[in-house]
Every structure is written in C-alpha cells, then in structure tokens.
Amino acid sequence: MSIGKNVIHDSALGHVSGQSQYIDDIPSQKNEVYVGIVPSCFACADVKGISFEKLNSHPDFIMGITADDLHDNSWGTIVHDQPVLASQKVNYMSEPVALVVSKSRYSLQELIKLVDVDYREKKGIFTIDDAKLEKSTIYKAHPFKRGDVQKALKKSMHLLKGTFKCGGQEHFYLESQACIAYPDEDVMRVVSSSQHPSETQRVVAHALGLPLHHIVCEVKRMGGGFGGKESQGAPIAAYAAIVAKKLGKPARISLTVDEDMKITGKRHPFQNEYVVGFDNKGKITALKAHLQSDGGAYSDLSSSILERAMFHLDGAYYLENVEIKATCYKTNNHSNTAFRGFGGPQGNMTIESIIEDIAQTLGLDSYEIRKINCYRGSKNITPYGQKVENNMLPELFEKLHKTSQYKKRKKQVEEFNKKNKYKARGLSMTATKFGIAFTAKFLNQANALVNMHLDGTVQVSTGATEMGQGVNTKIQQTVASAFGIKPSSVKVMTTSTEKNHNTSATAASSGADLNCAAAFNACEMIKERLIQIAKNYNIKNEIEVSDSLKRTKGYTFKNEKVTSPSGKKYNLKDLITKAYLNRVSLGAYAHFKTKGLEFDKDKGWGSPFNYFSQGTAVSEVEVDLLTGELKVLRTDILMDLGRLINPGIDKGQTVGAFIQAMGWVTTENLCYDDKRNLLTHSPTTYKIPNIQDIPREFKVNFIQNHENKRNIFQSKAVGEPPFVLGISVWTAVKNALSVKCSSVVEMSSPATNENILITYEKHR
C-alpha cells in the first residue's frame, strides 16, 4: 500500500538535475518560427490603425498578425468578453494588440518596437472607488443573508465600522506563459503550459475556426501555475496556433518574465466595507459586509472568485446574523484572474482583521475572541447553509495554543513591548476552513485512462496537470495501491485532450481528489476482469469476462499477488498474461463525479463544498518602528488534511503556500505609474519571499483524522488551504502596532516596511 507513504515526487530528480523539460526546453524544429506580443501603450484608448511597414526591411521579419486574422476574436472561461487580440480599443496597459513573427527569437523585442499603432487616448478607470462612481461593474453576486442583521446590529453592545483593503499579487511562476503549436496535417497540436488543456483546446479552436476534434492540447508539466495558467494560458496558445496555421510551420511563444508580469492578470485586490456588532466578551452578534474586488478589464474568472470570497468571509467563525453583498468592478487594469485561494484569502482575511480590531477594542487577547466564535457543536452552519461536518477547528485551535506555548509567549511579547521603545512584537493565531470543490458544480468531474501492460506495469492518463504540486505522484500512488504493485511500476503520462476529454482545470485544490478517484475507478474495472480470470483460471476454453461493474468481494491485490477469499494466491503477472491470451481488455477508462453538491445561487443557500480542509497558524513578528523592518520570528502551523496521501508532498505544499501568502501580505507590492504602467515588473522591484524571509522558527504539523468519508482514501485537499494561514503574519503585525499605539489600527495589506511605518505614524 503506497498511500500515506513519502513516495518521491515524479519530477524531483528531474527538477534538481535540470532534466525536467518545460515548454522552452523542447528543441526547435528546423523551420520553427517565433512569436512576440505587441503590447498596448495606453490603458484606455481607441486604436485607429496598426502598421507593420517599418518591419519589412528587417531580415528576420516574417509577418504581423492582428485581430483581423482570427476567426473568432473572443474568449473567456465564464463569459466570452475578452478579445484574443485587442481591436479598435485597448482596455488595459500592455494588452496584446498584435503579434510579430520572426525567424529568430533574439530579434523579437526589436521587431515589437518597430510596430506602429495609432492610439487615441481616453480617460480610464483605475480604482474601485472610481469604478463605483462610474457604476462600472463586471458582476454583482446574489447576497448571502441569515438572521436579522439590522436588528442585531442595533442591539449589539459594540459596533465597529471599517474598510479592509488588500492588494493584488503576481503569480511569479518560474516558467512564463509559453506554447509551441505544431501543424500536423489538419490537426493543430499545441504543447502548452496550461492548467486547463480542455479550455486551451477550445480557445485555440475558436480563434482558428476549427472544430474541437482538429485540436489537441498537451501538457507535460508547468513550472508553476498557481492559478495564473487556469484561464490565461489559453490565448497565449492561440497566438502560437494562429501563426502555425498561417505558415504551416511550428510556432513558438515564450514570454519574458517582464512581458508576462505586465500582460497577464493577477490576484484580485479587494476593498471590503463592513459593520460588525459584538458583545463584551467579543462574541460577534452581527456582521454586514460588502466585498468589492477589482476585476480589471475583462470578466475572466472574477465572478467565481468573488463568490469564493463570500464563501470564506466567515473564516473559522460562526456568524448568526449576517449579510454579505459582493460586487466585482470593471476597471482599466490587467484582467485579474485565479490565484491560489481564489478569493478565499481575501474573504477570510477580512474577518481575521475584524477580530484583531475587536480584541483591541475590548482589551482582550484575539485568541479568546477566535475561540468563542469558532464553529463548534450545533453552531456549525455557514452563512450559506452548509453544515461544517467533520469539524476539527476547536481541536486545531486548542492543540496549537498548547504546542506553540501561546500563553507563555504572549506574556513574553507583552514584556518585550513594555521594555522597547523602537521595536514592537506581535502574536496572532488565525485559521482556515477552506471549501473543497469547484463552486460551479459541473466542473466537479474527471476521467481517467488506465493501460496495463504485459510486464505488469501501468500507464495512466487523466486531465490533471502537474505544476509542481505533486498530483502525478498522488495518482501514481492511487494506481499502485489499487493493483498492489510498486509505485515505480506506474507511470503518469503527459496530459492530453486526445486521451482525456472535457476535463476541468487542475484547480480548486481538487486535482488530486477528482483525478485520483477517476483513476481508482478505472483500476477497479480492470481488477474485476482479472478476478474473473482468477475464478476461471483452470477453464480450458476461452474465458469470457463480463464487464459488469459489480465488484467481486473478498479478492485482495497486494505485493503483485492476487488472493482469493479462500486464500488461493495468483501472480498478478500471470493473470495479466492470461487475460491477454483470452482476449480480455487490460485497459479501462472511467469517470468520476463528486456527489452531494447542491447550491441554489438565487437563494444563496446550500452545500457547494464536498468538505472543508482546515488549519490554524500562529505567527510571532517583530517590527522596527524606526525603519518599518519586519522579522517573522516564529510560525507554528497545525492542519487537518484528513488521512495524508503523501506526507512529504503535503508538507511541501503547506510550507510553500504559507510562504507564498506571507509574501502577499508583507512584501509583494504592485506599483503602477499614472498611466498604469506596471513599475514592479521584474524580481528587482517586486519582492517575493526568499530563504532569509521565512520564519526563523517554523514548525509544521498535521493532526490525525481518518474520518473524512467524502474523499478518496479519507484524504483532504492541500493545494490552497494553507495559503490562507499566511494571513497570521499580517495579523501579528497588526497586533504589534495596535498594542504599541493602544488603538485599533487600520492597516492595508501588504504590510510592507513603508506601510508599517506610515500606519504607525498615523496611529501613534
């Protein structure tokens, strides 16, 4: 049984030795051409004309492409409102307006600069406040309501009103958006860095005017996606494909980091208004909130992200009287998109910020406020009607409180703050209760193809895409344990729309949940046939095997042997050979769908999630009040991931997600000039965490929980939930400043050194 073991990540050796192949590592074919994007020079303008005239004398120039060359110039994962190439109008700075095709990748930047685009600049909308004034919206969600908020607010002992603001975030995947398109007679084969091969297939098909069966999208792996390649990889693939189709030659596109950062969308900045009522103990009696996000120029996944923010406003806390409204605004910023957590962090952070403020107002420790508001017992229904089953939150809070020595350290922090004039320390514990499932029900399905070979090894293909998160390894473990064979006897093959159709993005942390389950179902089909072979082992005539899905009970597959209920043992390999000789199929294709998901959007009520992955984290920070410098002294994390499929991978995901979130709430600050040029478009100015920034003491643990009956192997998804725990670093900074200033401190995220200083100066 390889479930629960630290089976080595299938790319680990390749990654450290440099042998893993990414898109741009694929050797060029001799007639290959290179594609570059011409970015707009204005955030909002009419486009009067595009001229490639000046490029004609350049020896490398092959041709220019505009919107007119596309069959259907619109795409969008939910609403088709985004042009593949802008025509007539540009709606954000650096929006792709044209393509140039070159014989050499090295002259692309030169060629791009030679393209003449005639713009008429117009006034743009750049902030949520301006969009509000102009009534420029992308989506208004149906509100969630429970109880009587107005009445409860009136009756509340205390009220706090405020606006919580958090910034966007650049994905900073190490492999930029990239694709090579290969014309293969009348099929276009796109090899892409995409979390969503089926969507890429569709966008390419529409852009080229071809039916879907003439497009194949293949993804071997990504050098990171983090949500940035859920939707936005698709138009990049269309750029390569349209050129490949026109020229009948392979076409390669691979953005530079600077281009990628300027052109592609990011995490949504939010600006959430709220009024909260609470009693003397800090029990929240009413919460009224309006979540507001900056969607940028086009819809993309913004409506779904906004809704996930609403679903996570409650965080780990029961809200009896609650009203949550939400609006996504349309601005002339880059089109914001999925990013690890998918709006969840922006919602969850709001309530954690509110709780810090309640604690400061009442002069209590925020941990006490969190504990009394935490979901427990019969107080286990979310504002949208889902019951929090298998709720581990109270245990997580209490255990981490103990193991992190919270009480003792809180005292030490207080003493430190009394003794130090120019330094302040803060301590804060936050939590997550992350809903697992795509909130659009139809996306919660997957299919798998399992092929068993005569030497007893297996190839498996699903729609899941590997981006470093280890989904391939978890699928490999699933198949190995199903057949009772070694993980090294299972190979997870390149993801391709040719083998797995109509797949969902590898997203919503449910890649492993859905695809492991589909692979498991396919294995069960083959196993049933092998069992029938075993039952009829000594029959002389050809063995007939019925493909009934009824699982014969009592047979076990272990150590490459199959054992009958009576204890008779067969070599798995012998059964495989016998199956083949008896003309019994050793391949299976299976489908899986998550059961029990029901949510009524018009009522804002139901159970959109399969289950919740949960966790708590406590962070201790020190800020220098003269320079704003921030040090994270210690972080303790405790998570409930059910029964871990691969502890090593799950720990890697937990640590990675936490640090990525810590970057979001501390140093990653997107800066623009007045025209909305992104100033922080490279690692020299955009500061992600590095090894020195991680907590000086960092403890990561998981609790034992084998009771999650709603997912394969009783596991729980890990990809996004720990991201939410990074918020504890920000609330710890807020705690440090609140205590030092003896007041509720309004601080936006990220808490950059500069922001820490400004906030301190404003409140002291």
Interface with ligand MTE (CB under 6 A):
224-227, 340, 467-469, 471, 506-512, 653, 656, 717, 719-720
- Burial (CB count within 10 angstroms: exposed 0-12, middle 13-18, buried 19+), residue 137: middle
Applying CB under 6 A, among 91, 232, 304, 759 the residue interacting with ligand HPA is 304
User: At closest approach, how far in Å is the CB of 467 from ligand HPA?
Assistant: 13
Identity of the residue, 339 or 730, whose beta carbon is nearer to ligand HPA in the bound complex:
339
User: At closest approach, how far in Å is the CB of 720 from ligand MTE?
Assistant: 5
116-121 vs 45-51, strand pairing mode: antiparallel
d(CA 665, CA 657) in angstroms, rounded, equals: 12
Query: Which string of x and - marks every residue 139-178 that binds ligand MOS (by CB under 6 A)?
Result: ----------------------------------------
Task: Say which of 720, 746, 754, 761 is annotated catalytic.
Answer: 720
Within residues 192-231, the interface with ligand HPA by CB under 6 A covers 230
Q: Which does residue 439 bind out of ligand HPA, ligand MOS, ligand MTE, none, counting CB within 5 to 8 angstroms by kind?
A: ligand HPA
Give residue number: closest CB to ligand HPA: 508
Q: Report which of 664, 715, 655, 237 is spatially closest to residue 511, judged by C-alpha positions.
A: 715
Q: Which does residue 722 bind out of ligand MOS, ligand MTE, ligand HPA, none, counting CB within 5 to 8 angstroms by kind?
A: none
Q: Is the peptide bond before 383 cis (omega within 30 degrees of 0)?
A: no
Q: Is position 234 an interface residue for ligand MOS (rule: CB under 6 A)? A: no
d(CA 339, CA 538) in angstroms, rounded, equals: 57
| Alpha-helix runs per DSSP H in 6-124 | 12-17, 108-114
d(CA 255, CA 527) in angstroms, rounded, equals: 46
Within residues 313-342, the interface with ligand MOS by CB under 6 A covers 338-340, 342
Q: Which does residue 301 bind out of ligand MOS, ligand HPA, ligand MTE, none, counting CB within 5 to 8 angstroms by kind?
A: ligand HPA
C-beta atoms surrounding 13 within 10 Å: 11
Query: Which string of x and - marks every residue 500-539 that binds ligand HPA (by CB under 6 A)?
Result: -----x-xx-------------------------------
Q: Which does residue 304 bind out of ligand MTE, ligand MOS, ligand HPA, none, counting CB within 5 to 8 angstroms by kind?
A: ligand HPA
Q: How many binding residues for ligand HPA (CB under 6 A)?
A: 13
Within residues 720-759, the interface with ligand MOS by CB under 6 A covers 720
Q: Which does residue 510 bind out of ligand MOS, ligand MTE, ligand HPA, none, counting CB within 5 to 8 angstroms by kind?
A: ligand MTE
CB-side neighbour CA atoms (13 Å) of 350:
32
Q: Report which of 666, 643, 652, 708 is spatially closest to residue 1, judged by C-alpha positions.
A: 643
d(CA 499, CA 501) in angstroms, rounded, equals: 7
Tokens of 81: 């409102």
Applying CB under 6 A, among 42, 318, 438, 713 the residue interacting with ligand HPA is 438
Identity of the residue, 301 or 625, whose beta carbon is nearer to ligand HPA in the bound complex:
301
Q: Is position 439 an interface residue for ligand HPA (rule: CB under 6 A)? A: yes
Identity of the residue, 241 or 306, whose beta carbon is nearer to ligand HPA in the bound complex:
306
User: At closest approach, how far in Å is the CB of 500 from ligand MOS?
Assistant: 18
Strand partners, 63: 101
- Single-letter code of the amino acid located at 268: H
Within residues 500-519, the interface with ligand MOS by CB under 6 A covers 507-508
Say if residues 474 and 712 touch (Cβ distance below 8 Å): no
d(CA 140, CA 324) in angstroms, rounded, equals: 12
Buried b (16+ CB within 10 A) or exposed e, 527-563: bbbbbbbbeeeeeeeebebeeeeeeeeebebeeeebb
Identity of the residue, 344 or 456, whose beta carbon is nearer to ligand HPA in the bound complex:
344
- Active site (annotated) includes residue 720: yes
Tokens of 147: 């109880």
Which residues contribute to the site for ligand MOS (CB under 6 A)?
195, 227, 230, 338-340, 342, 507-508, 720
Catalytic residues: 720
